[in-house]
Amino acid sequence: MSNGPKSGNALFDLSGRTALVTGANTGLGQAVAVALAEAGAGIVAVGRSAMTETAALVAGAGVPFHEIRADLSRMDAVPAVMEQAAATGSRIDILVNNAGIIRRADAIDFTEADWDDVMNVNLKTTFFLTQAVGRAMIADGLGGKIINIASLLSFQGGIRIPSYTASKSGLAGLTRLLACEWAGKGINVNAIAPGYFDTNNTEALRADPKRNTDILARIPAGHWGQPKELGGAAVFLASAASDYVHGIVLPVDGGWLAR
């Protein structure tokens, strides 16, 4: 929550804040964690695997770093994450819901397991972790910033990823709902919709010559996004610069949606 008007670079200064970032072990989550750290925020990184690389990158910013191992496909991960985050002694001022998975198959062949796996990570535990963090922010009256990582598939249908599209469309709606409920409580809830980025989730697309060519042909910027290109949007939405921004889904897509 802002302490009043700021100017210049101070608008984006996150010194003294702590950000909990899920899926921070690689890709977009790692890039967001590093960008927030470079803006001054301490990082509580949540992920299923070791975050050695993320820890080393954050260390360069000279801010605190804490690692929490958790499988966010399971609801029991939520209280465990909250307990371990509290044990760091830092208040969570910023929550970045980045953890997500994808399953690819034609809709006619899509399985219940692939539906449930994606929805559990991308939407269900995301909501309940946000609920837990929101409760704490509301209880102490200090507000905070919540950033959901949505997708172009929050706006479009896509192909062969029914549960992913449903989850990311749902996350956009959830972003708006929480903004409506919590804006008056000093909590900004917004989302970023990444376009086609060079990450593990898009490896299959980049490896397919036709899909890769077709995708690049539509991106006005002419290249797949690099994870570091997402960091600025995250810093903006985590900082005082966005204090009057509520409920947006901000595309960072190289111009994809403009074409």
- What b/e string do you get for 149-160 counting C-beta neighbours within 10 Å, with b at 16 or more? bbbbbbbeeeee
Q: How far is CA 60 from the centre of its chain?
A: 22
121 SS3 class: helix
* Residue 164 annotated as catalytic: yes
- Please name the helix (run of DSSP H) or strand (run of DSSP E) that holds residue 250, with its range, or none: strand 249-252
| CA 88-93-94 angle, 5° bins | 105
Q: How far apart are CA 204 and CA 195, in angstroms?
A: 15
- DSSP-derived 3-state class of residue 147: strand
CA distance 144 to 167: 24
3-state secondary structure of 145: strand
Instruction: Report the C-alpha gap between 169 and 160 in whole angstroms.
Output: 15
Catalytic site residue from 164, 182, 197, 256: 164
CA distances from 51 to 22, 32, 166, 178, 231 (A): 11, 14, 29, 30, 18
**What DSSP letter does each residue of 44-96 carry, written as one string?**
EEEESS--HHHHHHHHTTT--EEEEE--TTSTTHHHHHHHHHHHTT----EEE
Active site positions, annotated = 164
